[in-house]
Structure 1
Amino acid sequence: MITSIIIMILSGIALYLYTRSLLENEIEEELYSNKDRVERLLEKNPDLVGIPPIMMAEKTEIPQDNELIDTLIYDPLQDEIELFKQLSGTKNINGQQYKITVRAMVIESEDILFAIVFTFMVIIFLGFIFLFYLNKSRNEKLWRPFFINLNKLKEFSVKADKPLNFEESEILEFHELNREMESLTAKIQTDYRNLRQFTEDVSHEMQTPLAIMQAKIETLINDQKINESQYEQLSSLQGDIQRLKQLNKRLILLAKIDNNQFTAKETISINEIIQQVIENFRELIQTRIIFVENSKISVVMDKTLAVILFNNLLANAVKHNVDNHAVEVIIEGNNCSIINDGNVALKQPESIFERFYKESKKADSTGLGLSIVKKICDYYRFGPSYSFRTSTETDTAIKTQRELTSQGQHIFSVDFNK
């Protein structure tokens, strides 16, 4: 558009100047021609006076060279002053000097410019409209397969069983791109299925030897006469096997979530799920758990994953609590927070939900509990977060109620509204 406008303006100016030059030359030629005609008529008729104001002839005694000028003359027919080109000069005819004046009306420059610009604008506008709709229809047909394939690519999932088939295109580059994308997506799906199968097979096959190892260790501990050092080593080995089994189960859980195997959806009450999880914890631990319900939350999700979500959050709070202080669970609006006491904030809170990341030195921590929380939240588009509140920021009433003596509180929250 910019280039077309610039070309149109320059072409209009050039055409205007060229046309004006042609008109002036034509008018001058016409004036000289008319002057010659008058001179010939005067040779035959010395009393000719012309046709004012176009042609005039008058006797004079003073010779004058030809003079070409512009002049304004009132035109009674148009009732306005018009611009004329005037040629005047003397000629000796049959011994008598005649001053001959011929005039021609000049077309106004503004009219010429307006005609040229208007014509150009009409031509450019009509050409633009024609090319716009022509190119639009051609481009729609040309790019339709591309946008169809782009939408298919946006909806592509490595978990899909069917290969991705693209729309055929007559354009060679699009055709080659489609073939390469089909090959690439098929390879990604195959690699994903192989990796998923490998993970499932390894996790499944590990269960049996781990169970056998644990059973043999229990047999050694119960049936054989072993000393205290051997007992401690066997107990440590048994603990390592137990942690390995937990790690294996959690990796299987992560793989199932990634593989979209939790498809059951029902409306569940988060309040009831938390109450159920708390009751189970109270049967196993001595830590006091305070449950504050300021609102009711209902979501659509798999009930099993909801239980796992709060099991991991509460287990994390109890495991990393200080001096067996009370753990607090608060539901406010669409947000659920699990709070436990702590002396120092995490060094890298942005990494707390990553797999195998842990700042705790406790041996029974696998580093997968919070990553499972993050995976479940991402699966249902909930908003998990972590923050640390120092003791100076904690309300005095809360300090008294919970006997807060630590340096602060770790707060893990889940926003179900997101």
Structure 2
Amino acid sequence: MKLLNQSIKYLSVSIFLIVTIWSAIFYINMLDEIHDSIDDGLDNYKLLIIKRTEKDERVFEKKDFEEGNFTIHKIDEKEALGMRDYFTDTLLYMQNEDDLEPVRMLTSAFKHGEDYYRLTVFNSTVEEDDLIEDLFYSIIWLYIILVASIVLINNVVLQRLWKPFYLLLGDLKAFRIDKESPIPVVKGDTKEFKELELAVNSLIIHARETYANQKKFTENASHELQTPLAIISNKLELMLERESLDHENAEIVGQILQTIQRLTRLNKSLLLLTKIENKQFSENAEISINRVVAQSVEDLKEFADYREVKISVDNSSEIQVKMDENLASILVGNLIRNAIFHNIEGGNVTIILVENSLIIRNTGNSLPLDSEKVFTRFHKETKKSNSTGLGLAIVHAICKLYTFQIVYSFDGEHCFEVKMG
């Protein structure tokens, strides 16, 4: 989840809880105030009725609610002394009304002369209930509008606040260390983003220096090592052509020449691997893997015939990928060469192109390879001295460069599958 979305989420949850609690407290307080107002009115009405009893004896004739908003009943002293004023909410039939209506009722006791009476006073709460209902829905709408408004405002504010960060992040994603791209700059005066800009720029400058040194070393090594190796090879070949060498010395010189040739291949492979990992190949174009496979099979035909290995190609699908043409040839060529080199006499190599996947199967050792080490540099399953142990490591590096997935499996035959899409 994006940092912006996380900030909005935490703020929204916090605001939701705060506003929810505030709304509940506000509603309860308003409800309590309305009830207090009704109760105060009933208390005043009670006092007025008691006061009327002192002047008008007819008040004691109110025995039911059909004649007014109160009733008076005579009670004994014990019941009166044990009674305390209490309020209740109930429903009553009102005059000129056919339906029950909500009322709030006060029950009290008072003494008149030597007698005790129970006084029941009520007040209709229809209007108050309507007010409470309107208040409830008003709070709900206010709650929704308030939460939505705060979340929306926070979203806009946070987007504006984090905009420099996301612009910097976009510049970093598009930044290429091997290109003369300008160093990303943070727009704005936010202190933390300025510190982030300084830290990122410091890392970029250091990485560029390291990359330039590695590139320079690679280029120098390519020239400075290959040249003397070529000279040594030429001189050794000249020595072998001389008739003055006896058989034993000629055999020793031949072994040295083979070692020099292996060292040359090893040097080229290491330099190639370094260039791939440094992403020094950027001439990408639409490449037909089918065409690359056909070319590689043609180039390795003599090697396969020498090893008595039969190659078959199944072009079930046409595979087009965008990558460097030289790396595509190296990727396919190394896999096919590996399948031929580690095969058995009279064995088979099957190449299948299907649904953006290149599958190369070959006969060979009856035991599976170590899937955790098969793509490791200098890892060898055999003791053959001609192998540099870098072929599959180069294949793996190319796949990693183009985010391809390469998988090894064994089902009686060794299988390498490169998933390109």
TM-score, with structure 2 as normaliser: 0.76
Partner residue of 1:362 out of 339, 362, 384: 384
Write the deviation string for residues 39-78 of structure 1: whole angstroms up to 9, x where unpaired: 46x1xx67778994146899x9998958656686542144
Aligned equivalents of 1:290, 1:306: Cα separation in 2:
23
Partner of 2:95: 76
CA 1:91–1:365 in 2, change beyond 3 Å: closer, same or farther? same
Paired residues of 1:256 and 1:262 also in contact (CA < 8 A) = no
Partner of 1:7: 21
CA 1:386–1:341 in 2, change beyond 3 Å: closer, same or farther? same
Aligned equivalents of 1:257, 1:235: Cα separation in 2:
33
Alignment of 1:331 onto 2:352:
yes
Partner residue of 1:143 out of 162, 172, 189: 162
- Structure 2 residue matching 1:350: 3-state secondary structure: coil
Aligned equivalents of 1:327, 1:74: Cα separation in 2:
101
CA 1:279–1:18 in 2, change beyond 3 Å: closer, same or farther? closer
- Equivalences, count: 390
Partner of 1:410: 414
Partner of 1:313: 335
Partner of 2:49: 35
Aligned equivalents of 1:218, 1:48: Cα separation in 2:
140
CA 1:288–1:73 in 2, change beyond 3 Å: closer, same or farther? closer
- Structure 2 residue matching 1:103: 3-state secondary structure: strand
Structure with the greater alpha carbon radius of gyration = 1
CA 1:56–1:372 in 2, change beyond 3 Å: closer, same or farther? closer
Runs of 4+ in 1 over 6 A off after TM superposition: 45-51, 55-58, 60-64, 96-100
Aligned equivalents of 1:167, 1:147: Cα separation in 2:
10
Partner residue of 2:205 out of 169, 173, 186: 186
Aligned equivalents of 1:387, 1:72: Cα separation in 2:
82
CA 1:216–1:38 in 2, change beyond 3 Å: closer, same or farther? same
Partner of 2:269: 250
Partner of 1:107: 125
Of the structure 1 ranges 132-141 and 222-231, higher mean CA displacement relative to structure 2 is found in 222-231
Aligned equivalents of 1:19, 1:170: Cα separation in 2:
51
Paired residues of 2:42 and 2:121 also in contact (CA < 8 A) = no
- Structure 2 residue matching 1:190: 3-state secondary structure: helix
The letter for the 1-side match of 2:312 is V
CA 1:289–1:158 in 2, change beyond 3 Å: closer, same or farther? same
Aligned equivalents of 1:155, 1:161: Cα separation in 2:
12
The letter for the 2-side match of 1:410 is H
CA 1:56–1:30 in 2, change beyond 3 Å: closer, same or farther? same
Write the deviation string for residues 127-147 of structure 1: whole angstroms up to 9, x where unpaired: 223322322221121111122
Write the deviation string for residues 101-143 of structure 1: whole angstroms up to 9, x where unpaired: 5734153796676455434323323322332232222112111
Aligned equivalents of 1:186, 1:125: Cα separation in 2:
51
Alignment of 1:299 onto 2:320:
yes
Partner residue of 2:40 out of 16, 26, 35: 26
Matches within 5 A, 1:140-289: 140-223=159-242, 225-258=244-277, 259-261=279-281, 263=283, 265-268=285-288, 270=290, 272-283=291-302, 285-289=305-309
Matches within 5 A, 1:46-125: 52-54=67-69, 68=85, 74-81=93-100, 83=103, 84-87=105-108, 89-92=110-113, 103-105=121-123, 107=125, 114=133, 117-125=136-144
5+ residue gaps, structure 2, are 1-12
5+ residue gaps, structure 1, are 391-408
Alignment of 1:134 onto 2:134:
no
